[in-house]
Amino acid sequence: MFSSRLLLLRSTASLASRSLCTDGVTGRGRAPDMIEGNPLLHVSNVRNRLRDIVGASTNWSDHKQAMAERVSLSSMLAKSQQELPARSMKDSYLEVHLPLGSEPQLREKYLTFHNTVRFGRILEDLDSLGVLISYSHTYNPVLKRSPLSIVTALVDKIDMRQHVVYPDCDIKFTGHVTWVGRTSIEATMHMLQYRDGVYAPVLDATFVMVARDPENKRAAFVNPLKPDGAEEETIYQQGEANKSRRVELSTASLLKVAPAHEEREIVHSLFLNTLDTKTVSFRSRVLPPNSVWMEDAKLKGLEICHPQERNIFNRIFGGFLMRKAYELGWANACSFGGCRPNLVAVDDILFQRPVEIGSLLLLSSQVCYTQENYIQVRVHSEVFDPLTRQHNTTNVFHFTFKSDRDVPNITPRTYGESMLYLDGKRHFNQTVEK
């Protein structure tokens, strides 16, 4: 019954324990292969299923022909949302298995040098699952291929419920659609790990997808979502609240409006703390004790975007971008704090434009806020065209890390850095208030 499964949003561990069976190796990290009589979808098959849904080619040499064939699917798009049948949350429910415990040969792809799990790989899996969940919501059994191009628009939030992810224990991802607009879909996902005979919750994630036409040029309508019962209605209302929060945060962006009064006071206080008491000059600045200038807390990287990292629409896979941004952000936090930090949350990743194959991708990470043993890192992603010399922003990523010791205070020197500081503080506050 799906109503019991929806309790996953509040009690993932209890659901998992109800649906488990034993196979003689309970507690050793190997989970059963069947959940409530249904086989789990293997994580390696998620992207293959996505290719089947849209008719994408697995060969780069055939990608132009495959995309050209999708153009004819435009006639199958709905002219309005009212033409499409309403769907329930259970229609998009999926469970995906990442068998790190039962398939040791798979482990190496997910391992770090320190024998922990690469969280960047988990981000890739979540991104693919979010898209597949959205396609499950819009599935039309009459059509052999979906005319929709569904892509990730935003990672609203990822909240860690435990910091340790074991490299030799099976992982299960679950999720379904929790809110729908006219052309957008919110997918909520959960990651659990099998240990000591039960699946324990690891993280909760909320992604927002957008539907486009077969050529990925204009918006397309998606099936409406009709909550079934009080529990689903509560989940749907949370989706409405998430949308309102996103609109409010966008309206209050420091790129659009001046800081609030309290924030202006913070900036002025930071400035006063850096004045040289001997000269008392606006031009003479002194770094306070146990502090680091913001300009000295950067780390940069470059990626050449090869076809291997393409998505089903032959642009760079959003999960790959998230993995690279996370790894750079983690390295920056590690260097800044002097130890290996734990991820606390991922917040507000906006995909502003697609990244084309062959692009030069420039990544720049910046420690923008610190508090006690927390480190807030912002990673800016842009593509550089060496022929035109133009730079275009593609993504901005926000990561909250926690060190095992207190870290230096980050100190802005310029007004622009002060805005980065306030923006980082806002994201940090959203994380700790959850």
Residues 238 and 266 in one domain: no
What's the CA gap between 307 and 175, in Å, rounded? 29
Residue 317's pLDDT band, with cuts at 50, 70 and 90, is: confident
pLDDT at 10 over 70: no
pLDDT at 36 over 60: no
% helix, strand, coil for the chain, step of 5: 35, 30, 35
Residues 63 and 107 in one domain: yes
User: What mean pLDDT do residues 407-424 have?
Assistant: 94
Final residue belonging to a domain, choices 249, 284, 305: 249
Residues 240 and 365 in one domain: no
More confident residue, 411 or 308: 411
Q: Both tokens of residue 134?
A: 């959205």
Determine contact, residues 232/88, Cβ cutoff 8 Å. Answer: yes
Angle at 337 between CA 255 and CA 206, to 5 degrees: 50
Residues 178 and 280 in one domain: no
Residues 190 and 298 in one domain: no
pLDDT per residue over 240-279, tens digit each? Answer: 998 888 888 888 888 888 889 999 999 999 998 898 877 7
Residues 230 and 130 in one domain: yes
Residues 230 and 262 in one domain: no
Residues 6+ apart with CB under 8 A from 292: 336, 367, 408, 409, 410, 411
- Residue 309, domain extent: 258-432
Residue 190's pLDDT band, with cuts at 50, 70 and 90, is: very high
The strand pair at 34-35 and 38-39 is best described as: antiparallel
Final residue belonging to a domain, choices 249, 268, 292: 249
User: What mean pLDDT do residues 114-142 have?
Assistant: 92
Number of domains in the chain: 2
Final residue belonging to a domain, choices 249, 280, 310: 249
Give the CATH number for residue 296: 3.10.129.10
Q: What is the pTM of this model?
A: 0.84
Residue 32's pLDDT band, with cuts at 50, 70 and 90, is: low
How many whole angstroms from its chain centre is CA 112?
A: 20
Residues 19 and 142 in one domain: yes
Residues 245 and 351 in one domain: no
Mean pLDDT of the chain: 85
Determine contact, residues 69/199, Cβ cutoff 8 Å. Answer: no
Residues 37 and 129 in one domain: yes
Residues 280 and 298 in one domain: yes
pLDDT at 305 over 50: yes
Determine contact, residues 73/145, Cβ cutoff 8 Å. Answer: yes
List the single range of 30-44, 223-237, 289-303, 382-396 with lowest mean pLDDT. Answer: 30-44
Phi, psi of 275 (to 5 degrees): -75, 140
Q: Both tokens of residue 153?
A: 């628009």
Residues 313 and 392 in one domain: yes
Instruction: Classify 47 as helix, strand or coil.
Output: helix
